[in-house]
Structure 1
Amino acid sequence: MGFFSKFLNAFKSIRLNDKNSVNGYLLDHLLVGSMYAEQQSAYLNSYETGLNKSDITKLVDTYWGISDQNQAIEILQSLHTRNQDKNLDIVYKAFENPENYFDILRSNISNEDNVFDYYLGLFRKLRNVVPELIEQKIITDFVQLKKAKDSGWNYGRGVFLARCCYELDYISEKELIEYVAKSHQELKQYCSTWKEYTTSYIVGRAIWGGGSNSGMVQIANDLLNNKQSPLKNRTYI
């Protein structure tokens, strides 16, 4: 199944595993990856994804550069630490002070190994993306982003990626359970509700990937409102 058809398929139904589902707080942990899972038309409520092994291998190897246990652990850990990136805080501060944005970035971010250029690029993406998100009514103002940032995007990708790595035997079930629990716990520092989580995911994808947000918005609406969705009756993370 090609990416585009898979993307469209995500809007047709919420996929649930009837045989090996998890429930309660374990499901809460797993739902941190629900946006990414929906993108891939995977199960929302089980450790197994329900995807073909060849598709999982392609996603993990081609898009993430993971082909063994060490690479899996390194990438998964990096997705946990991205929200503690102090340079990202500087980018947000610069956004709030557009007259002095360059000086704020230059005086607080090192230029070793083109680090400064990377964060200047992020600032420019943010400057393009925020008005679009406000116009599309995804957020009402920039203040909404200050706490959540792109946490949903980071933790969300991490949880789904961990499920894929588990299915490829790069991590154990115990490691998967610990990883998704930690993701859920840390996400709560940034997002209070599942609505904030889906918004944060959309924001993250828009900043890092660019392009249209309409597909992501539709996935978020489906997750939050479809009566089959495990998120339907959950408000708080």
Structure 2
Amino acid sequence: MGFLKKLFQIVSGKKYRNCPSGPALDPVAQRALKAGLINSEQIMAYCDSYTTGLSNDALVEGLGSNWCIGSPQEAAETLESLGRYGHRFFYDIVFRVYSDGASGEGRQEVLDALVASGRYGSPETVRMQVAAQEPSEEKELVFSALESAMEMLENLRSVFRLLEDKVNGSYLPKDYSAGILAWDLGRLVTVARMSLDCKYIGQDELNRILAHVDGELGSHFSSWPQFAKSYIIGRASWAGQNMTLGGIIGIAEDLMTDEKSPWVLSPL
């Protein structure tokens, strides 16, 4: 089902799908599930349970096409990467480069930051491999990351100080500097739930992930509108301005204002 059709269903009133067999009762899980609400509303998943309620075809297609997940190992690797790095790893680098007013396109500054991060190995070793003529796995990883980061930098340039929603108003520079943790947390919740439904992970692992998400919520966010800003900036930096972004902002606005919304009923 396409995004616009799903969005039409949401606008038409098919919102906040509750699991017929009952919600997750653990308060930690319930708070963490709310971190995934923008994403779960987008894909028409249950809003209150460990299971998504999606068909097997939708689960396989969603994990396979969007996340390249088709096995327990791939699910574990993706979930670990989302929890540890996510898109915020690139965003923190490109926002710093953008804020520092890098000359030209900023490619060298981004490359230097990626190497210095240590994610791809010892910075000194990786710096030598990048400068060498010979190919290497580390060099390939760094340059692949560079392309992803440069795309995010261009998207950030295109949306900086232009984003807004009906509750928060126009987003200020301090909102962009706060980062995009919410974007990663929301997707982590959804991918973990879908992975549970596909039996790629077990309930204990999902519980661990939800507990992690709940801890991050408590440490970094004081309200759902604040969370929504971080999520929307993350989505915009990942894919830029397009019709889908407008739809996602609309979902977030609804979650912040609808009297039946789980966010409104259970403030952060």
Same fold (TM over 0.5): yes
Q: Quote the residue 1:205 is aligned against.
A: 235
CA distance in 2, matches of 1:232, 1:187: 16
Contact 2:182/2:231 (8 A) holds in 1? yes
- Contact 2:38/2:251 (<8 A) preserved: yes
**Aligned pair in 2 of structure 1 residues 63, 108: CA closer, same or farther (>3 Å)?**
closer
Structure whose alpha-carbon radius of gyration is higher = 2
TM-score computed with the length of structure 2 as normaliser: 0.78
Q: TM-score if structure 1 supplies the norm length?
A: 0.87
- 1:46-195 correspondence to structure 2 within 5 Å: 46-82=49-85, 88-98=91-101, 100=103, 102=106, 104-105=109-110, 107-110=112-115, 112-113=139-140, 114=143, 115-133=145-163, 139-147=170-178, 149-195=179-225
C-alpha offsets along residues 173-203 of structure 1, whole Å, 9 cap, x if unaligned? 1211111111221244443321122221211
| Matched-pair contact (CA < 8 Å) for 1:166–1:172 | yes
What SS class does the counterpart of residue 131 from structure 1 fall into?
coil
CA spacing shift, 1:88–1:235, aligned 2, 3 Å? same
Post-superposition offset of 1:134: 5.0
Pairing partner for 1:15 from 7, 14, 17: 17
Deviations 1:190-233 (A, max 9, x none): 43321122221211111112223221111012212222221113
Q: Which runs of 4+ in 1 moved over 6 A?
A: none
How many residues in Structure 1 have an aligned counterpart in Structure 2? 235
Deviation at 1:166, TM superposition (A): 0.6
Q: What percentage of aligned pairs have identical amino acids? A: 26
- Give the aligned partner of residue 229 of structure 1: 261
Provide the rounded CA distance (Å) in 1 between the counterparts of 2:99 and 2:148: 19
SS at match of 1:10: helix
- Any idea what the Cα deviations from partners look like across 1:19-46, whole Å, max 9, x if unmatched? 3212433210211111110001111111
Instruction: Return 5+ residue gaps in structure 1 as ranges.
Output: none
Q: CA RMSD in A?
A: 2.5
Q: Which runs of 5+ in 2 are unaligned?
A: 116-129, 131-138
Distance 1:96 1:202, change over 3 A: same
| Bigger shift: residues 161-170 or 209-218 | 209-218
The Cα of 1:132 is off from its aligned counterpart by: 2.6
Aligned to 2:127: none
